Amino acid sequence: MVPNHLILCMLLFYVNCDDSPDKRILLSDPDYVQQQLIHLQSELQSLQATVQSQNTELHTQSGELQTLQATVQTQTSEISSLKQQLVQANSDGGGSTFVRWGRTDCPANLTELVYSGYAGGSWYGHSGAAADPLCLPSDPEWLQTTIVPDTYTGQIYGAEYESVNAHTLFGPKSHDEEVPCAVCRSTSFVSSVMIPARTTCYSGWTKAYGGSLASGYYAQAAASQFVCIDEHAQPVVGGGDR
């Protein structure tokens, strides 16, 4: 016979052993299997939601990529078009324009005539006058507009050569003669520049024409600009006498 107190101790010990972390789980326990199934289903749903979110993000990024590709394709096409235009411009040659003051024609083999006319600008005694000279065409066209009083208008006058003390800087008998002009377009070059105080061009540039640097008289009220008057200047044929 085993004493009662010994049996009690053994039962307590057995119960304490069941609470240890190393206890074995019986897979035949239906509650445990149900819990595991619920847990796995929850994880599966979470994974499915993650995959769906990633698929949506991938679809969005794919659309953005297609948009970027279309933009790049458009820009590439525009760049190609600009390159073709540049090549065409270079093959055509030129495009630069300039005014040849004192002549009605353009330099041969370098330019083509856009139009010829007369040099004009503001009156030399007007303090509010515009400074820039104009090459006025010989066949002006007029707008059908309301005429405003002379008080509120700008005024344009013809330009004349002034050769003081019988100097012939602008050609013989050029004093008080009107100044012609020609607008020229280069057929070979894409830019042009007027270089003061030089009779030759710098390296890499081709001379179109040369002449004398001229402007209005320094003591006159109206401002003026420096222009290059052709060294073989001509007067306007049949120009006015005042």
**Continuous segment of H or E residues that includes residue 212:** strand 211-214
What is the pTM for the complete model shown? Answer: 0.61
What would the two tokens of residue 78 be?
Answer: 């525009």
CB atoms within 10 A of CB 96: 16
| Tens-binned pLDDT, residue by residue, of the chain (242 aa) | 544 444 444 444 444 444 444 445 555 677 778 888 888 888 988 999 899 999 999 999 998 999 999 999 999 999 999 888 776 765 666 689 999 999 999 998 889 999 999 999 999 999 999 999 999 999 999 888 777 777 778 889 999 998 776 677 888 888 889 999 999 999 888 899 999 999 999 999 999 999 999 999 999 999 999 999 999 999 998 776 55
Cα(95)–Cα(127) distance, rounded to whole angstroms?
36
CB atoms within 10 A of CB 185: 15
Q: Is residue 150 within 8 Å of residue 73, measured between CB atoms?
A: no
Q: What is the DSSP string of 19-37?
A: TSTTPPP-TT-HHHHHHHH
Q: Where are the domains of the chain?
A: 63-92, 94-242
